[in-house]
Amino acid sequence: MDIKNKSLEELEVVSQDIRDRIIDVVSRKGGHFSSTLGAVELTVGMHYVFNPFQDPIIFDVSHQCYPHKLLTGRWDEFETIRQFGGLSGFTKPNESDADYFVAGHSSTSISLAVGAAKSIKLKGEDRIPVVMIGDGSMTAGMVYEALNELGDLKLPVVIILNDNEMSIAKPIGAISKHLSKLLAGKTYQGFKGRVDSFIKKNMPEGTTYIAKRMEEAMKLITPGILFEEMGIDYIGPIDGHNIEEVIDTLQIAKEMNKPVIVHARTVKGKGYKIAEGQHEHWHGVGPFNVEDGAFVKKAAPKAATAVFADALTQLACKHENVVGVTAAMPSGTGINKLMDKFPDRFWDVAIAEQHAVTSMAAMAKEGFKPFITIYSTFLQRGFDQIIHDVCLMDLPVVFAIDRAGIVGNDGETHQGTFDISYLRFIPNMVLFAPRDNRTLELGLDFAYSLVKPCAIRYPRGAYTPVSYESTPFELGKSELLKEGSTNKLFIGYGASVGRACETEKLHDEDIAVLDLRFVKPLDTQTLTALASKYDDWYVFSDSQKQGGVGSAILEFLNDSKICVSLTTFEYEDDFIDHGDTKVVEESLGLLPEQLVKRVK
């Protein structure tokens, strides 16, 4: 959509059309909602001032990119947002040349902009990287690593700070408000540039010092001191819903030809009154009724996350040394219940997985029992800390890995497929997985008693029910659920035990089923015994094949010189696309009725 020649009044209409389209589609299909509604005018302003097919436009996390998609030729296709085979809910370069980078995790945007700015300079091109980053993403350390270099290099980069929840620094009174308006104006920016130039050329050393001190005093009563001290100019705060103000400010920032942060205040859910403001449950939504905001509820069994939260609450009530942390996902991981009940023992450290892991390592050393509750995909961000600060010290930290396996509509950046592979090779780490709600409860009891680092994984949504009695966990011990009369053995791990059981029931042969329970350490004694009875093994696990459960078993078989046939139904060497979980599993040939045919 070409908006370069539209009037302000026409741009207001475009913004309203975009909002209406987002509300209509997301209310029927689900998706990210409040953040993307709050970024409409900012996105329209970005597209008016910059060229999305030339200037690198980089969205942090990119869950707020829906207006950008609608402005770049995907209006009709937007109907397929987050559906299998349709548009991604995040930026994705193979969808459009206007999408600069794949994004789904937080706080990477400014680093990307620095790299783009270096490249543009080396190639001698006339382009400017533009970033839109939310205030929540500013809680991660990677942002400040990037700002630190950018402030030193002084390369042209425009960073739009979309402040929809909290101020980076609270303005002080009427003077601050007045100065902030001045900072956003052409008069002040021009004056500041002329003063800087005049000081450098004409003023003696003593008066230069006085002038600089006056400028620093002005910064102290504005919210931009943090950025100014890092060598990055600051403009704002501005009204992020005033298109004229947005366009004027971005034009100024573009002409400054150096790094600048534009601080824009916005309201989450803007334009849909029910969702406006700081309501976490409107961040990402399922289908809902536009008239009253009522969500379309589907009857569903209790989710594994809810089972985990209740079990950990009981554990915390019983043991005062149980503490916990999450990284900006309190309700998503269920730890919000514990933060309310035990505010001195459970914390949300914001988007800081590295800090979460290392801080809990110290608490473990001090005699506490930390539970680190982080999604599988986000735990990747704390990988070095798991090795260096937890496992190297052999500290009894529990990693509660939520969203393990396929998570559905968020797609490639969020699928929880790699945790087994990247944790299994770390010395001192114990890896185990419950098969259902009851074994998840038993698993937390076991994790509490274990004096070693361990990771317990569980899926998004509910477990497939397994009709076998649960027994307590023992370190490195599997559980044979069913003997078989054929030479076949189904080995299930975690939530995939349910898939193994369903596949066995659909098969016309009597097949043995083993709940592996531990992938590290393996129950080598039981596996050796089973190899003498069953020589055709099939592995069921919601994990990557490389370095996964099948790989662990093959390593054991090779070392023990045991000869059996092993087939693993883990994920192939590829990133898994977005879409409804069952549809995605069907595309991978992993539904029980498909697996029966593969076994036969």
- The reported pLDDT for the residue numbered 263 is 92
- The reported pLDDT for the residue numbered 163 is 87
Q: How far apart are the first and last CA of the chain?
A: 53
- Architecture per CATH, domain 479-599, reads as 3-Layer(aba) Sandwich (3.40)
Active-site residue (options: 74, 82, 268, 345): 268
Going by pLDDT thresholds of 50, 70 and 90, the confidence category of residue 213 is: low
565 forms bridges with which residues in the sheet?
Answer: 536
- Pairing mode of beta strands 57-59, 130-134: parallel
Active-site residue (options: 69, 82, 381, 517): 381
Active-site residue (options: 92, 228, 270, 353): 353
Domain 8-170+223-285: top CATH class:
alpha beta
- pLDDT (average), residues 566-592: 94
Interval 386-439: pLDDT, tens: 999 999 999 999 999 999 999 988 889 999 999 999 999 999 999 999 999 999
- pLDDT (average), residues 443-455: 98
Mean pLDDT of the chain: 90
Rounded distance between C-alpha atoms, residue 473 and residue 440, angstroms: 10
Q: Which of 8-17, 277-286, 338-347, 581-590 has the lowest mean pLDDT?
A: 277-286
pTM exceeds 0.95: no
Q: Which of 57-61, 218-222, 543-547 has the lowest mean pLDDT?
A: 218-222
Interval 456-513: pLDDT, tens: 999 999 999 998 999 999 999 999 999 999 999 999 999 999 999 999 999 999 999 9
Phi and psi at residue 476, to the nearest 5°? 70, 20
Rg for the chain, CA atoms, rounded: 27
381 counts as catalytic: yes
Interval 346-365: pLDDT, tens: 999 989 999 999 999 999 99
Rounded to 10 deg, the angle between the 40-49 and 8-29 helix axes is 130
Interval 113-162: pLDDT, tens: 999 999 999 999 999 999 999 888 888 889 999 999 999 999 999 999 99
Q: What is the DSSP letter of 577?
A: P
Where exactly are the structural domains of the chain? 8-170+223-285, 304-457, 479-599
Share of the chain above pLDDT 90, in %: 78
More confident residue, 285 or 552: 552
Q: Whose CA is closest to 259, among 354, 161, 347, 353?
A: 161
Under CATH, what is the fold of the domain 304-457? Rossmann fold (3.40.50)
Interval 225-254: pLDDT, tens: 788 888 999 998 899 999 999 999 999 999
- Same fold flag, 304-457 and 479-599: yes
Phi and psi at residue 271, to the nearest 5°? 100, -15
Share of the chain above pLDDT 70, in %: 90
Task: Return the amino acid letter for 504.
Answer: E
74 counts as catalytic: no
